Structure 1
Amino acid sequence: MPPPALDYLPPEIFLAVTDLLPWTDKESLSIANNKIRNQLVPHLFRHIKIDCPLDRKNNLQSVIQLHGAHILSVRLNVGFQPNPPNSSLEGTKVDSDTAEAWYWDDYPTSVWAQDSVDIPLIHDVIQFKGMPKCTKLIIHTNGVEDFETDGGWDENDLADMSIYFCTSPEDWETVKDKEKKYSWRKAWNELWRDVARHAKTESLETLHFLPIKASCWLEPEWAAFLGRLKNLTIRVYDNGAGWAANTLEGFNAFFNQMPDFLFEHAKGLEHLCIAGHEDGYLGQDALRFESNTMLELKSLRLETMSITESLKEFLSGSTPKLESLHLFNVAAWAMGDEPTWADFWKAVRGRNPRLKEVVYGSPKSAPLTEGECYNDDFDPEEMDPEEVARVRKKVTDDPTLIIWPYVTSDDKYGDVQDWEDLNLESLEKGDDNREYKLLTDEIKQRQQNTAS
């Protein structure tokens, strides 16, 4: 029998072939023989996911000893638990049909581990010990059952479960009081205190980032940690329960205060991505930027939010090194004194001399009629009024034109509401596309000058 053909391929060709395979096929191939496995192992064990609090029966140390040399990123899936029913403080509400949860009689001693003896293991992981190639730390956070377990999360006038743990704005004294009363808030603070204290990474990604502050953010270690970061990604929490968290004053206040506890400390940050949740659009009252912060920023990516006056001002002089701007599912706010798209693009063009690329993307075309908003089978050729058809034809004839979206969000449910009349008016007026074209033309000219 001839030997397997794959065994005789040069390593670079073998790896190029296996890169095209689905993950499960790579796993299956890796057990074919020792030679193939040895070639694949560095490509199979690039990333490690760890559930916290770490189970008492875990093999984390042995996994890192075996495969740590290949790991490029660490992801910590951090879960929080409400106070148990037997807590002397606000505890989980139970009835006769409630199934007993594991943490009722065995509440974890730390955010990191059920057993205190394992806490140093996670501290070592945060420092990438035994993982010499690792450069990226990813942290995913969530409450048990998406915070839907009844009771023990927060005491307020609305509810003590679901999204309502971020109902009201919190000053720092309130934050400290809640860290004493709620075990999960203490754990949230422990998480960020230890990350600031131990992490060596320059690249941090937060997934399902909870809109609550931690008292350790007042400490010098937190400012020093943020000052070391080069890359930061924040993907925002929401639970998609029907009532979006963006309807809550506390949710919006958290992101409005972000310059104070984050941006002003990120003095060396070069790449920033902030993404709202698909069910939790960041409107005009939420994310705030502050001038003269993050002066080293080279790339900015924003998703599922509105352009605001603070963002316009931030991009009007605080980003002298900005080279790349990506906007996805971003719209102008249709009410108040927030900037139009023309205002925004003019500001970007005026004060960003190193800008090399601007990318705008949207999951759908902005509507020009009410029918488009509510009819999945809408056919503009058949249903457009004459005036709308005339304006829409401009976009059809000139693919460089964009229907720039204007929106607001519903106060009760948080749903994004299109302003199709304003979309139509702005498209017909032409200022938004005119300013965008001036910006893109200037970038092209800049690129040509650099190349010549």
Structure 2
Amino acid sequence: MPLHLTGLQPELLLTIADALGPDYTGLLDDDVQPKYDANGDRASDRDCKRKYRESESQKNILSWSCTSKYFRALLSSYVFKTVILRNDEKSGASIDVISKHPDLEYCVREIRFVGYAPGDARRKDPAFGDTEHILPQNVTHLLSNLGRFRNLETLSIEFDYDFGDYREWEEEGVNPADEVEDLEEIRRKEGQEAWRALMLKVWEAVCSNDGTVVRKLAIERLYYKEVSAFTTPVFHQFLSNLEDFSLSIYGGDNGAGWETKTCEIWSAFVAKLDEFFFDHLQRITSLTLKATEEGPIGLEGMNHASLALRPDHMPHLKIVHLEYMFLSPELRDFLVGHASTLEEVHLRSCLAETDDSMAEDGLHWHELFDAISSARPSKLQIFKVTQERPASLPESKRGYDKFDSKVQDENETTLNAEIEQARETAEAREKRVWPHVTVDDKYGMLFEDEEENFLSFREGRDQEAFERLMSIVEGNAGGNEMLVDVRDSRGPKPQEW
């Protein structure tokens, strides 16, 4: 006898829904095609793949929910788990309908706000100067009254800027010549430029909520232009009630090669993240901080920005995710300062820069690992170090200036044999190559420091320090956790160590 889906228990149907949409995170969004940044490069591959998976999952769930009233009611908790709100009246009206329907607003766990304002429209679009209507009243009302969604947990905010073509993007977007603005200049531009006004109006609306309405705040691709709201007591009060905070910083280049890290305004903005955010996150237990390859955070010097995290920040912190950070004294002190509370540490695409020609006080990997071990982190059960691709080793001695200065007395044939053996060992994953980089003094580009990779690999101190730390972590976790993986660019499966 055939079995109809409607004859299955609801719990089994929801299990099937999970299988159909494991990456589902929101209402169907039209914007799922890969984007291109101003210099024609694809947007983050991970972002594109995530959006594609979300779109496919959304289509499955939405199609299924349209087959009958029974499935519509059953799957509403999936369809409306995350809703996308934009700064236009149509979007505001749609979400307003959901907020007034008791069976739907109850399902909403996350509101993802995506704000758009043209960046190059000063010359082409009269809406560019329309700061008054850049955030419609119905959208403002929704952002100001998030308590209407009884089960809301997460508010995600992202501003999608269109900086136009190369020339206009350089003028309006990533521009190394941009000067740091004082508060008077910031407020003047917020009154004249729609994209600056949009940021201000959104944060003013969000901060008018009761502080306990949102458990998690996720700020995606935050552009490094200061918003006057960031220094207000009401904004800081809102932050003080959060339990989970996630922040990613905008990165890129100006189309001519100069990367984000060459901009004085970027380094000045990043250095004030404590004043804007970190000083006020007293209650959070989970922190995510993401930078980009064009703008890793940490160390002081040309084309660098110091990490504004301190040991006294976030006293209850249990979980930390950091991406594209330089190993720095500030990073070390922050992790060591939370040794008594941390349960998980995730380091993705973090890098050591020990060549002091561009920055001072760079740490070796073994210095970071040994510092954490010495702090005896009694609760740390997960420690993951992930790279987008494995670090490289040189093919031979020839052509490397650092070899000429550090190993000039060694026989070239013998050294080349050691290099070949190291490459074979690393490829067999018997030993980890810990990544070191240098920073270009003009454009700010990262270059892999293959010589330092090899010298550190041969010395072995990084690996030994890592294993000492792992013995502590494994003891805390009972030896059941995967502790390190390396993302190989040739495939999606991580290498396990």
| TM-score bucket (shorter structure) | 0.7 to 0.9
Matched with 2:244 is: 231
Q: In 2, Cα distance between the equivalents of 1:272 and 1:334?
A: 27
* Amino acid paired to 1:36: F
The 3 A distance-change label for structure 1 pair 230 and 319 is: farther
Identity, in percent, stands at 21
Q: Deviations over 1:168-200 (max 9, x none)?
A: 333444434433454432332232232222262
Matched with 1:76 is: 113
Q: In 2, Cα distance between the equivalents of 1:171 and 1:235?
A: 23
Matched with 1:388 is: 419
Q: In 2, Cα distance between the equivalents of 1:179 and 1:432?
A: 48
Q: Deviations over 1:279-325 (max 9, x none)?
A: 44335322332232122111111112312121112223245311111
Matched with 2:135 is: 112
Quote how far apart the aligned CAs of 1:438 are: 0.5
C-alpha contact 1:283 1:409 (8 A) present in aligned 2: no
* Amino acid paired to 2:367: D
The 3 A distance-change label for structure 1 pair 149 and 61 is: farther
* Amino acid paired to 1:356: Q
Q: In 2, Cα distance between the equivalents of 1:117 and 1:223?
A: 25
Matched with 1:37 is: 72
Quote how far apart the aligned CAs of 1:334 are: 2.9
1:325 aligns with 2:336: no
Matched with 2:219 is: 206
Q: In 2, Cα distance between the equivalents of 1:163 and 1:281?
A: 15
Partner residue of 1:167 out of 178, 196, 213: 178
Unaligned runs of 5+ in 1: 85-91, 95-100, 154-158, 372-383
Q: Which runs of 4+ in 1 moved over 6 A?
A: none
Q: Deviations over 1:184-218 (max 9, x none)?
A: 32332232232222262120111111112222222
Matched with 1:378 is: none
Q: Deviations over 1:42-87 (max 9, x none)?
A: 2222110011144598433223334212111000001234596xxx
Q: In 2, Cα distance between the equivalents of 1:192 and 1:223?
A: 11
Quote how far apart the aligned CAs of 1:342 are: 0.7
Matched with 1:341 is: 365
Instruction: List aligned pairs for 1:212-361, cutoff 5 A.
Output: 212-239=225-252, 241=255, 242-282=257-297, 284=299, 285-286=304-305, 287-336=307-356, 337-351=361-375, 352-361=377-386
The 3 A distance-change label for structure 1 pair 57 and 208 is: closer
The 3 A distance-change label for structure 1 pair 147 and 232 is: farther
C-alpha contact 1:53 1:110 (8 A) present in aligned 2: no
* Amino acid paired to 1:210: Y
Q: In 2, Cα distance between the equivalents of 1:104 and 1:204?
A: 28
Q: Deviations over 1:231-289 (max 9, x none)?
A: 11112212454542222111122112212222111111211111113544335322332
C-alpha contact 1:295 1:319 (8 A) present in aligned 2: no
Matched with 2:208 is: 197
More displaced 10-residue stretch of structure 1: 301-310 or 433-442: 301-310
Quote how far apart the aligned CAs of 1:230 are: 1.1
Aligned-residue Cα RMSD (Å) equals: 2.9
The 3 A distance-change label for structure 1 pair 178 and 320 is: farther
Partner residue of 2:432 out of 402, 420, 426: 402
1:19 aligns with 2:18: yes
The 3 A distance-change label for structure 1 pair 173 and 32 is: closer
Q: In 1, Cα distance between the equivalents of 2:369 and 2:478?
A: 21
Matched with 1:184 is: 195
TM-score with structure 2 setting the length:
0.75
C-alpha contact 2:456 2:462 (8 A) present in aligned 1: yes
Question: Aligned with 2:325: secondary structure?
Answer: strand
* Amino acid paired to 2:422: V
C-alpha contact 1:166 1:211 (8 A) present in aligned 2: no
More displaced 10-residue stretch of structure 1: 325-334 or 177-186: 177-186
In the comparison of the two structures, how many residue pairs are matched? 410
Q: In 1, Cα distance between the equivalents of 2:386 and 2:184?
A: 41
* Amino acid paired to 2:84: K
Matched with 2:94 is: 59
C-alpha contact 2:93 2:138 (8 A) present in aligned 1: no
C-alpha contact 2:344 2:383 (8 A) present in aligned 1: yes
Q: In 2, Cα distance between the equivalents of 1:149 and 1:397?
A: 44
Q: Deviations over 1:324-376 (max 9, x none)?
A: 110111111132221110111111222233222110111211011169xxxxx
Q: In 1, Cα distance between the equivalents of 2:479 and 2:418?
A: 42
Q: In 1, Cα distance between the equivalents of 2:167 and 2:147?
A: 37
Quote how far apart the aligned CAs of 1:448 are: 4.3
Q: In 2, Cα distance between the equivalents of 1:306 and 1:449?
A: 29
More displaced 10-residue stretch of structure 1: 348-357 or 56-65: 56-65
The 3 A distance-change label for structure 1 pair 421 and 344 is: same
C-alpha contact 1:334 1:419 (8 A) present in aligned 2: no
Unaligned runs of 5+ in 2: 21-56, 397-414, 481-497
Matched with 1:137 is: 155
* Amino acid paired to 1:333: E
* Amino acid paired to 1:8: G
Matched with 1:369 is: 394
* Amino acid paired to 1:25: N
* Amino acid paired to 2:460: G
* Amino acid paired to 2:100: Q
Quote how far apart the aligned CAs of 1:117 are: 5.8
Q: In 1, Cα distance between the equivalents of 2:241 and 2:197?
A: 25
Quote how far apart the aligned CAs of 1:128 are: 3.7
Quote how far apart the aligned CAs of 1:166 are: 8.5
Q: In 2, Cα distance between the equivalents of 1:78 and 1:218?
A: 21
* Amino acid paired to 1:167: D
The 3 A distance-change label for structure 1 pair 279 and 54 is: farther
